[in-house]
Structure 1
């Protein structure tokens, strides 16, 4: 199987998993409308989806460093879908939290091993990892459309239909796993020995990822409700805002991988966070439909560093790639989910605008942390990409790995 065929299938599978991360925020307005939940109550859904991820994802990262577990990809994909499918079946808030938590565990178990496999399949290319991350962002973007079409048409009782992407994703990853298994058996996984770990830089990077998580997950949880308030209580306005927020992430991931090949990962991420400080302020304070422009710019700005942070973490901890992937990808979701109930409680006590205002500071903190990070040399993964004959179907103008 050609390299880019593998990356394409993994990217689509990633979309089928991350649609369930986006589905949690997409379901919030429907639970508010059908069950009259408060801001603090619905933010508990986001917390339930994120709480176990904050522990489970790094744990699976450690496990995949000790032993490859490719079977996690189809199993965790199904688990993520089943949890969301069951979320609207029962009227019990406790069962709702349990089902969303099950989905969160499935999504958390998927990411460390899938990132390891994507790195191996893409042979260390930042561009390949960017396309893999883009798949997840497309899944995020499709979530509000999928939930709106299914739940908007028939109410929460139709959530079992939302399991369909999980069925597709679990099937798509199977040929990739078989092909990579044959490649490993033939000795295709040979690579240079891992370099020395830079724990200090990895800690700084993790703090930046956590701050990014707070602003992005915070916006994801409440941007739909905020847009509905700003646009005359229009349900369509809320769905569009969430769709734009997620779709911009797909653009940002591809753009980040391309720019990093020219200017380096650290520099590109640093400037992206500096720009995001202003765009988040625009989301909160600019009135009228212009808010959508700032939502799009914020999404692009926050996602330009996303795949770059994954490969940076892997290069800062080259001896523990699974652990690095589990922590960077886990923090990208879990920390923001832990803070969401605080935002919800503040919104109940004051207003959504007041509760969202502190998010403006988070990209600035990321910018300061990235100013202290070095650009690590990207390790070689076997034969340089330019010398292979299996890259003929590569995406246009792939960026070279930063050295």
Structure 2
């Protein structure tokens, strides 16, 4: 009996780490646009429209990769199949590896849509699976899973672009092969011996009791205001994060950074987000939830603003630290939403990771237009100060569960 339990735990642990690895690989492709953006703009845009076109690229990609997560979250709450993950990895690898071969802006839009659908198909169900596989360590499990994705976002493009940067971007098409290979492995490795319990208790752990699923609106309506507040915080934080990834890359190219140097700065910024998300899994069980959110929103903007007005090591250190603090509450958003929408955890993940990122990415179209109008330095200053405006909204979350305290 004990041997069977040990074997089951070992199998579950392997599946969890393979799922996290899959997230790393998928997000390696998902972030290619930020690195290729200045090169695509040079190839396809005029000097007067390059920031606007950059905003369009981000908006199109976000509509499919982020808003699509609501659709796939709804579907995966009803149809539980690992093939959402298979489609996700395969579509992302294909769509984003073909970007440089696109002969026109419209073909870029099409490829971004394909890649975005892949990202949307993967994330809602994969995030819920990660929490369920982590069992009692749900908060830390989701943090590790999200960190795996962020490590992919930070370091994956450097690996994928190593050969194309050295020998020519036409070689990028061959970089889809690892993703397609992983997509074939996914349904073979993620075979669950029994149905996973995907529901969440107020402590963020799986529920011992299987409860019948209530209609979504009946669950959501009594908690509508705090759900909206969590969504707004997640979306506006994404405006800052996506805006920095997109427009700092363009700004650094304007300042004469090499392609490799620019990619390294963006990778450092995204890797800082990995550390912030990983730390949140540890912090959320020790620090009052309200305080953690408050420090995240108030502490990051001054550091990010200061980084933009310095250079050298100070620029990199402040950029890194600012993003660590800003992203340290991302897991809190997801867990709180899953608790509020118990029985609809995939939709909750889709809202906080998908729709919120979609709104944030879509609003960067406006950011691009403002960049053409007023210049990127001014726009970047405004972006990094945006989280300060969100802090007063936290008072509307004061009655929500404190994840640092065990469930009563």
Same topology, TM > 0.5: yes
1:2-401 mapped onto 2 (5 Å cutoff):
2=10, 3-35=12-44, 38-123=50-135, 125-178=138-191, 180=192, 182-184=193-195, 191-193=208-210, 197=220, 198-230=223-255, 232-373=256-397, 374-376=399-401
Partners in 1 of 2:196 and 2:35 — Cα distance? 43
User: In the superposition, relative to structure 1, how do residues 300 and 185 fare at CA in structure 2: closer, same or farther (>3 Å)?
Assistant: closer
Which is further off, 40-49 or 9-18?
40-49
**Partner secondary structure for residue 284 of structure 2:** helix
Partners in 1 of 2:58 and 2:261 — Cα distance? 21
What is residue 396 of structure 1 aligned with on the other side? none
Partners in 2 of 1:187 and 1:339 — Cα distance? 32
For 1:288-337, what per-residue CA distance to the aligned partner results, in whole angstroms no more than 9, with x for missing partners? 44221122112212221122211111011113111111111113421222
Structure 1 alignment gaps of length 5 or more: 379-398
Instruction: Give 1:154 shift.
Output: 3.4
Contact 1:82 1:103 in 2 (8 A): yes
**Superposition RMSD on alpha carbons, in Å?**
2.7
Structure 2 alignment gaps of length 5 or more: 1-7, 200-205
Which is further off, 153-162 or 134-143?
153-162
User: In the superposition, relative to structure 1, how do residues 274 and 117 fare at CA in structure 2: closer, same or farther (>3 Å)?
Assistant: same
Contact 2:82 2:186 in 1 (8 A): no
Instruction: Give 1:262 shift.
Output: 0.7
- TM-score, length-normalised on structure 2? 0.85
User: In the superposition, relative to structure 1, how do residues 332 and 263 fare at CA in structure 2: closer, same or farther (>3 Å)?
Assistant: same
**Partner secondary structure for residue 184 of structure 1:** coil
Contact 2:93 2:179 in 1 (8 A): yes
User: In the superposition, relative to structure 1, how do residues 155 and 400 fare at CA in structure 2: closer, same or farther (>3 Å)?
Assistant: farther
User: In the superposition, relative to structure 1, how do residues 354 and 186 fare at CA in structure 2: closer, same or farther (>3 Å)?
Assistant: closer
Instruction: Give 1:102 shift.
Output: 0.8
Partners in 1 of 2:100 and 2:263 — Cα distance? 19
Partners in 2 of 1:311 and 1:248 — Cα distance? 21
Partners in 1 of 2:380 and 2:196 — Cα distance? 51
Which is further off, 331-340 or 309-318?
331-340
**Partner secondary structure for residue 183 of structure 1:** coil
- TM-score, length-normalised on structure 1? 0.86
Instruction: Give 1:5 shift.
Output: 2.4
Contact 1:209 1:366 in 2 (8 A): no
For 1:208-250, what per-residue CA distance to the aligned partner results, in whole angstroms no more than 9, with x for missing partners? 00111100000111122223445x4433331121011111111
Partners in 1 of 2:196 and 2:354 — Cα distance? 30
Partners in 2 of 1:168 and 1:282 — Cα distance? 43
Instruction: Give 1:43 shift.
Output: 2.7
How many residue pairs are counted as aligned between the two chains? 380
